[in-house]
Amino acid sequence: MTVSVARKIAFEVLRRVEAEGAYASDLLHAELSAEVRAEDAGLATELVMGVLRWQRLLDLLLELALKKPVARLDLPVALALRMGLYQLRFLERVPARAAVNESVELVKRARKASAATLVNAVLRRAAGEAAIFAEGFLPADIAGAERLGTVHSHPTWMVERWLERFGEERTMGLLQADNRAPRLSCALHDLPRRDEIFESLRGAGLRIEAGKILQSAFAVSGGSLTRTAAFREGAISIQDEASQVVPLLLGVRAGERVLDMCAAPGGKTPTLLRAAGNGGLVVAADRHAHRLLAMREQLKRLRLLSVRLVELDAAGRLPFGVFFDRILVDAPCSGTGTLGRHPEIRWRLRPQQLAEFHSLQSALMKSALERLAPGGRLVYSTCSLEAEENERVVEEVLRNVRGVRRVDVGEITEALKGKLVAGMDARGLFDSSGYFRTLPGLQDADGFFAATLEMEPKN
């Protein structure tokens, strides 16, 4: 029996995610070339993301059948079992026979033929139990965060934090949102051509939904966006809607000097370039040369060539002889606001890493503020839900750096006027403390945090 193209791709991507620490979205983007049929690309993506999202629950169910931890299996065997069980439990349109037989073939292809009988037996039994709710397999004494973490396939420590911070109802919304495929949100770069661009996308077989926050945002489904003429010509980009809002909070004006301090992969830089115009100066920095090269290619696609790309470690003193009117610090972070898009993060992240991120983020803020002009504004943002990386970084800065203040929400929302969808109240994007914040489960967007600071002008 042969193995389908989709399952071969999914198996190899999952192997590299586990063995090499790679990110599934990057690997899928590389693997799903134009030669791969749309239905194969869809199934491969579903298998990879589904297995990663539900890994904890899948492993629990497998261990009940195996009588030993999945971690003790050879990796190819563990992956074949996870893929097979995911299909049996979550993909109603996949025949059980195909899920079982192709999983057996995968271990054979991986030169683990000795495990074929085991995989066959475990998955055949699982096929007969697929209709039983997962909760029915849990121990009677499991409760609280442990139960939620198991049923919704998140680390217990993460669920405990969210319960304490957000309460049960909002935490449930987060857990459920993380286990759904997120909307494929996009940015429209030429609003007057909206109807023309949308018509061309529909002609390519895509379905379009309007943005929930920004007039220039939209979501697509049902096809390959990157193969369309609109994408190739730079009329649109793929970008989460909350991410699109962040650079707007800076309120960049024509002719200003702007620093995008942690710029790669470059999704926010185009907004800054367009706002600063030909008379402005936009510097985009990152510590990794290969990421800057990839960013340059994206900016070429968008026909934005006036940016200055600089390789540097922004946690140290910045090598610039000028001060900047606007600085964006889109800081490296844990990414807990993007677990629906990057499910592998939930299994890699450790609680102690939050303190490490905090130290880095504080250092970035310190070096950025040293180059912020009097009267200039800085936006600090993350795609994290954790206080250590968000408000506690801002609070530390305000305690330790003189002459810096937080900008009032009313002043920030001025920069959003005319950009939000009809009926959207800009203040609804800010929490009770005045921070920009989105949460999966509340908005159809990733979880983002942003604070806007201003350097006091000289007397």
Full DSSP string of 124-162: HHHHHHTTS-GGGGS-TT--HHHHHHHHTT--HHHHHHH
Q: Six-digit token pair at 451? A: 């604070």
Contact 378, 258 (CB under 8 A): no
Task: Write b or e for each residue in 407-440: b if 16 or more Cβ atoms lie within 10 A of its Cβ, otherwise e.
Answer: bebeebbebbeebbeeebebeebbeeebbbbbbb
Tell me if 401 sits within 8 A of 395, measured CB to CB: no
- CA-to-CA separations, 395 to 61, 307, 452, in angstroms, rounded: 44, 32, 12
C-alpha 429/C-alpha 437 separation (Å) is 6
With both helix axes pointing from N to C terminus, report the angle between 24-31 and 5-20 in degrees, rounded to the nearest 10: 140
Q: Annotated catalytic, 383?
A: yes
Residue with tokens 């079992």: 81
Q: Nearest-CA neighbor of 454 among 377, 380, 382, 381?
A: 377
Residue 75 DSSP label: H
* Rounded Cα–Cα distance for residues 210 and 195 (Å): 12
Query: In terms of DSSP H, where are the helices of 2-115?
Result: 5-20, 24-31, 38-53, 55-66, 75-90, 96-109
In angstroms, rounded to a whole number, what is the distance separating the alpha carbons of residues 263 and 293?
12
Q: Backbone dihedral region of 255: left (phi > 0), alpha (psi from -120 to 50 degrees) or beta? A: left
Active-site residue identified among 186, 262, 333, 383 = 383
**For the chain, percent helix, then strand, then coil, each to nearest 5?**
50, 15, 35
- Catalytic sites, residue numbers: 383
